[in-house]
Structure 1
Amino acid sequence: MDTQKTYTIGELARDFDVTTRTIRFYEDQGLLSPKRRGQTRIYSPADRTTLKLILRGKRLGFSLAESRDLIFMYRPARDNREQLEALIGKITEKRAQLEQQLTDIRILQGELDDAEARARQAMENLENDHV
């Protein structure tokens, strides 16, 4: 008898605060593969872990394809050096993208400050001209 804990789609949706539609989307993408009991989807602990990793990857800014690649690299009971190196590489890429975005935001903030200062000066000049 299999005593391994299983999960319904509703349980996973509640546990991870996602919709059942989101979970079915990940199924359609081949990332989750629940068993069926009639019309009911039965998810394994491995499916639950995969969903957790997908959502973590999403929070880290990974695309679904990037998360899929990293997840599919995992091989239980083996040296997962390749997977870990790929993860470190993706993290490095994301960090560089974020640093560039921060730089771009700072530049844009400076440009907005300059534009605002010029507009305020122009308003002041208009008010002084009408006095």
Structure 2
Amino acid sequence: MKEEKRSAPPADDGKDVLSAATSQSGPHSYSIGDLATEFDVTLRTLRFYEDKNLLNPRRDGINRVYSRRDRARLKFVLLGKKVGFSLTEIKEMLDLYDLRDGQVPQLRSALDRFNLHINILRQQRSDVEQAIADLERTVEVVSGMLREKEKKEG
């Protein structure tokens, strides 16, 4: 069943996604279709994230109505997935941020996890850069071999 469109999403004003995630005030609300279109995800994906308690839209009859907070959380979920965090890790980070009264050990643990992941991504970037350099050298060698073969045949 098609859900009615609520309002157009606001322009991304560059605010920190987590700061925006804590704000539930504001006149903006979004239908499931609004968010699916804006973030190029399926309706099934949004329902899945809802089932995993990553998003918590309110209901207006049979329609899901997403808040600015839900939109910001979705943006954070997609960013977290893009850089390799699992949904469980993303949920833990969102829950920790939502609590805002995280104890020092929790905050240290989150910081350690973030730094570890940064190091993993940096190593992956280095590995990719090395693989590109190796392939570029191979292309040069094979191109030279091809030129020589073409000269002999031509």
Q: Pick the TM interval, shorter chain.
A: 0.5 to 0.7
Residue number among 35, 56, 68 corresponding to 2:91 in the alignment:
68
Post-superposition shift, 1:75? 4.9
What corresponds to 2:113 in structure 1?
90
Unaligned runs of 5+ in 2: 1-24
Aligned partner letter, 1:34: P
CA displacement, residues 4-48 of structure 1 (integer Å, 9 cap, x when unaligned): 755433444456554433321211222223333321123455534
What corresponds to 2:44 in structure 1?
21
CA distance in 2, matches of 1:110, 1:68: 37
Matched, 1:125 2:152: no
What corresponds to 1:116 in structure 2?
139
Structure with bigger gyration radius: 1
CA distance in 2, matches of 1:50, 1:121: 52
8 Å contact from structure 1 (residues 74, 80) kept in 2: no
Change (3 A) 1:83 1:74: farther
- SS of equivalent to 1:41: strand
TM-score by length of 1: 0.66
The aligned length equals 129
TM-score by length of 2: 0.59
Alignment root-mean-square deviation, CA: 3.3
What corresponds to 1:8 in structure 2?
31
Unaligned runs of 5+ in 1: none
Post-superposition shift, 1:127? 4.1
Post-superposition shift, 1:86? 3.8
Structure number with greater CO (CA < 8 Å, separation at least 6) is 2
CA distance in 1, matches of 2:42, 2:55: 15
What corresponds to 2:61 in structure 1?
38
Change (3 A) 1:120 1:62: same
Post-superposition shift, 1:96? 1.3
- SS of equivalent to 2:59: strand
Change (3 A) 1:111 1:60: closer
